[in-house]
Amino acid sequence: MAPSDTSPAVADHVAAVARSLDAASTTLANEFVRQYVSATESGAADRQAPVEAFEMAVHVIELCAHGLGDRAPAAGPPSGRGARVALQGKPVAEAVEWLRLLERVVADHVLAHATAGSGGVPMDGVRAVLARLAELFDVLCTRELESFTSTYNELAGWQARVSTDLLSCLIAGPAVDASTVNDQARMLNINPHQRFRAVAAYHDPAPTSQQWVRARRRIMEVLWRHDPRREILSRERRGLLLALVPIDRAGPGLVELFTGMLAGEQGRSLFVSAGEPGASLSAAGHSCRQALSALEISIYRDQRGQVTQCTDVILEVLLAHNRWVSKRLIETRIGQLVEKPHLLDTLRVYIACDMALQRTAEELVVHPNTVAYRLRQIATLTGRDMRRIADIGDLNVALMAYDAVQMRRDREEARTDLRARLFA
């Protein structure tokens, strides 16, 4: 391993250090374990058994000695801890922390050997030894990181599949087996006995891959800020994301956090909705269905840039899921207006303007007398008094039913069936 252009004095020093490391491997490994165990007490390093740490340290020190001595090692590098760190859900830094600590121990020994040497040790020799040790430890750290990355990616794929299966089971509708849900949640390191709430987000217009990556990152940042433990189940397709989030957390609530996010640039392209909380994970399927239904209504109404809660559109949700009731409301209340879109629009704006004639005329950009004439037509066709709150409320419910039927028709034509799109 020694370069051909090194001087004899430097080569002799490198060989002497190699012999010293080989002889002192047990001592240095014990020193490493002493420092390592002391470090674990403060949480600075991984809590690994001292015996295993000792054996790994001896192996690495022998590799260093063989490398410096220009000899082929008897065995390859030890099986790393990177995979184990990934499986334990610990930070990637902990996969290489032990190697960096061992490198300091070995470097201290090299410097001590240089100080104790007789006749003076050339600085070029010390630098050469430290440089070669740094190269060796860099290679070992790279292998640990590769082991971590490979295992982390496999684990992430497995978690995504389990999470998807679990969400699919919850959204399906029929009652689920709580014990099965709880077992799968524990596999994902999620406490299933806390309250969960579903949140759904939709990007319009259809985003490019880069646009969705940016939007998704903003959404996940909000979710992680709310739940630093990251006990979140999520499922996504480009432009659409559904997440089940624990709500018993300190700090701002989900609606407040999303409202703040939508106040910025994201509000121009995102629709966000939320279902009602479920008492536990196994009971949170209704929250997922509510969030998706509320999102469909939000998209139909073009309520982008705000959080539409299920309770805000609870009547529309009920009507959207009960076709017979919706059709009967339309037939018995506004059936005569369906073929007259201008009267439907006038009625809708009149209700939105709190039955103010002048404001309605301004919104429709017509003369107030035109509005008054249309209102008389509506009253004649429906048999309702356009000045009575009760009659106006009845007509408003019929308009909601009309919107629900239109929305359902769009869904059946595969334009806004969010559940089918999410789990296709």
Residue 37 pLDDT = 59
User: Are 240 and 348 in the same domain?
Assistant: no
CA distances from 178 to 167, 203, 247, 269, 284 (A): 13, 33, 19, 37, 11
Report the Cα 384 to chain-centroid distance in Å. Answer: 51
Give CA–CA dist 197/314, Å, rounded.
16
166 inside domain: no
| Closest among 141, 154, 159 to 81, alpha carbons compared | 141
Residue 412 pLDDT = 58
User: Are 78 and 41 in the same domain?
Assistant: yes
* Straight-line distance from the first to the last Cα atom of the chain, in angstroms, rounded to the nearest whole number: 56
Q: What is the pLDDT of residues 55-86, one digit of tens each?
A: 888 888 888 888 776 655 545 555 567 777 77
User: Are 353 and 262 in the same domain?
Assistant: no
Give CA–CA dist 236/284, Å, rounded.
18
Q: What is the pLDDT of residues 139-157, one digit of tens each?
A: 888 888 888 888 877 776 7
State the average pLDDT for the chain. 83
User: Are 368 and 306 in the same domain?
Assistant: no
User: Are 308 and 339 in the same domain?
Assistant: no
Residue 71 pLDDT = 57
Number of domains present in the structure of the chain: 3
Asked whether the predicted pLDDT for residue 372 surpasses 90, the reply is yes
- Is residue 175 very low, low, confident or very high in pLDDT (cuts 50, 70, 90)? low
Give CA–CA dist 219/270, Å, rounded.
10
User: Are 335 and 303 in the same domain?
Assistant: no
Asked whether the predicted pLDDT for residue 366 surpasses 60, the reply is yes
| Closest among 40, 22, 41 to 97, alpha carbons compared | 40
Q: Which amino acid is at 80?
A: G
- Is residue 38 very low, low, confident or very high in pLDDT (cuts 50, 70, 90)? low
Asked whether the predicted pLDDT for residue 108 surpasses 90, the reply is no
Q: Say which CATH number the domain at 255 has.
A: 3.30.70
Give CA–CA dist 360/349, Å, rounded.
6
Report the length, in residues, of the chain: 424
User: Are 344 and 256 in the same domain?
Assistant: no
| Closest among 250, 228, 240, 230 to 272, alpha carbons compared | 240
Residue 116 pLDDT = 60
User: Are 299 and 341 in the same domain?
Assistant: no
Share of the chain above pLDDT 70, in %: 86
Q: Which of 154, 189, 206 is the last residue in one of the domains?
A: 154
- Domain limits at 268? 180-317
Q: What is the pLDDT of residues 288-302, one digit of tens each?
A: 989 998 998 898 888
The arithmetic mean of pLDDT across residues 194-199, rounded, is 94
User: Are 285 and 410 in the same domain?
Assistant: no
The arithmetic mean of pLDDT across residues 362-383, rounded, is 94
The b/e string for 144-183 (b: 16+ C-beta within 10 A; e otherwise) is bbebbeebbeeeeeeeeeebbebbebbbeeeebeeeebbe
Other Cβ atoms less than 10 A from the Cβ of 100: the count is 13
User: Are 32 and 142 in the same domain?
Assistant: yes
Q: Which amino acid is at 131?
A: A
Q: Which of 285, 317, 349 is the last residue in one of the domains?
A: 317
The b/e string for 383-414 (b: 16+ C-beta within 10 A; e otherwise) is ebebeeeebbebbbbbbbbbbbbebbeebeee
User: Are 188 and 312 in the same domain?
Assistant: yes
Asked whether the predicted pLDDT for residue 259 surpasses 60, the reply is yes
165 inside domain: no
CA distances from 216 to 211, 221, 236, 251, 350 (A): 8, 8, 9, 22, 39
Q: Which of 317, 352, 380 is the last residue in one of the domains?
A: 317
382 inside domain: yes
Q: What is the pLDDT of residues 206-245, one digit of tens each?
A: 899 999 999 999 999 999 999 998 899 888 889 999 999 9
User: Are 371 and 272 in the same domain?
Assistant: no
